[in-house]
Amino acid sequence: MSEFYDPYSNVVDVMTEAMEIGGMNQYMFDIIKNPQRETKVYLPVEMDDGRVQVFEGYRVQHSNIRGPFKGGIRFHQDCNLNEVKALATWMSLKCAVVNIPYGGAKGGVRVDPNTLSQRELRKLTRRYAFAIEPLIGADMDIPAPDVNTNSQTMAWILDTYSMLKGKPCPGVVTGKPLELGGSKGRNSATGRGVAISTKLILERDGKKLEDVSVAISGMGNVGGNAARILFHRGSKIVALSDVSGGIYCENGLDADEISEFLEQTGKQLNDYQKEGVRHITHEEVLTCKCDVLIPAALENQINADNAEQLQCSYIIEGANGPTSVAADALLEERGIVLVPDIFANSGGVIVSYFEWVQNIQILTWNREQVNKTLEKIMSAAFIEILEESQQSQCSLRMAAYIIALKRLIYAEEIKGIFP
């Protein structure tokens, strides 16, 4: 029987355990664990056929104790307030663990964007931007792309916000097109961060990327870019999946060829055919024999139902919250090393920070500078996580949470309670 999964309860449970292990102030923790603001909006949109449809949207601002709120916007048919609360909380922790001056936020609209025309999607995005306009801004709350949103979505939000303010406001969003003030390397940053995380944990154990086989669940922005980068660095990609299902090849898949097939044809992995490649289920991708498993789709992919069947040695969490609390305990018992989401997929927000800095300073960095600085920040944060894990005799997830919470709680303590 499947375990009940609530993403917000999941993140609070993990935070609570980290607070106890780290011996932190309970009263300050009670402040930090709760979002500062939860906003629900209703978005009437005139559809192409003339009818009006009302969509439900959210923006949750978890913490700005260490800097402006920061977090993506997702469009998904299963999006709900508790999910967005969890994602906003993870963002606060993520920014704190890699020590960039942001707090956490997240937004979402309950919609299947595949059912909308481009015109309907643009109108919905602009209506959502109008609804949350009082909450966002370059020094207040900076949205970015997430599931089913991209640089085009950010361009629409930027334009709507700038029209309302009567001037160009490039710093209001990150992940936007280069022509509108975006950063080189931003589109691939989260996937690159996953690849960097994989490299760092392997180096700890005296291994190299060329030594390992990799399975990736999810071929969106994060999984797709991680697959290509790891493929270029010599890893053997044995399994991939998207919403249509999975593919497997023991001798390795050509991530470049597959990405090109998906992008140029608009088809999905269930349409991909090649000698030696067989089609498998999502679950079989997660449980196939590999050295490194990268869950890069949605939450709760790895749970109590399948944790015992995993055949990997390492898990690098490309998605937010892909592993349940119950599964965490089972994986630890089995000796499977897990690099947690709040570190492993932090590449996106780190490069969003670079983009924001470039906008404020009216500067442009080259791709090499972006990628080099990203790896420098992640490598420094990883050393801190390893040291905390050894000192507190805990998992890498607990270590990352302890570091993040200590930074958030310290900031709360030194500022004091208002009034």
Distance CA 5, CA 262 (A): 31
In angstroms and rounded to an integer, the radius of gyration of the C-alpha atoms of the chain is 21
Catalytic-residue membership of 289: no
Distance CA 37, CA 61 (A): 5
165 is in an annotated binding site: no
244 is in an annotated binding site: no
- DSSP string spanning 280-339? E-HHHHHHSB-SEEEE-SSS-SB-TTTGGG-B-SEEE--SSS-B-HHHHHHHHHHT-EEE
DSSP 2: P
149 is in an annotated binding site: no
Length of the chain: 419
Helices and strands, number each (H, E), in the chain:
14, 12
List the strands of the sheet with 314-316, edge to edge: 278-280, 245-248, 236-242, 213-217, 292-295, 314-316, 337-339
Kindly report the backbone phi and psi dihedral angles of residue 161, in degrees, each rounded to the nearest multiple of 5, phi listed first: -65, -45
Distance CA 295, CA 138 (A): 32
Token duo for residue 100 = 């960039």
Instruction: Report the relative pairing of strands 292-295 and 337-339 from DSSP bridges.
Output: unpaired
The one catalytic residue in 33, 40, 85, 106 is 106
306 is in an annotated binding site: no
Distance CA 191, CA 225 (A): 5
352 is in an annotated binding site: yes
Kindly report the backbone phi and psi dihedral angles of residue 336, in degrees, each rounded to the nearest multiple of 5, phi listed first: -80, 125
In the three-class reduction of DSSP (H, G, I as helix; E, B as strand; rest coil), residue 237 is classed as strand
Burial degree of 214 (CB within 10 A; 0-12, 13-18, 19+) = buried
Which residues line the annotated binding site for substrate?
A: 70, 94, 352
Could you list the active site residues?
A: 106
Which residues line the annotated binding site for NAD(+)?
A: 190, 221
Which residues line the annotated binding site?
A: 70, 94, 190, 221, 352
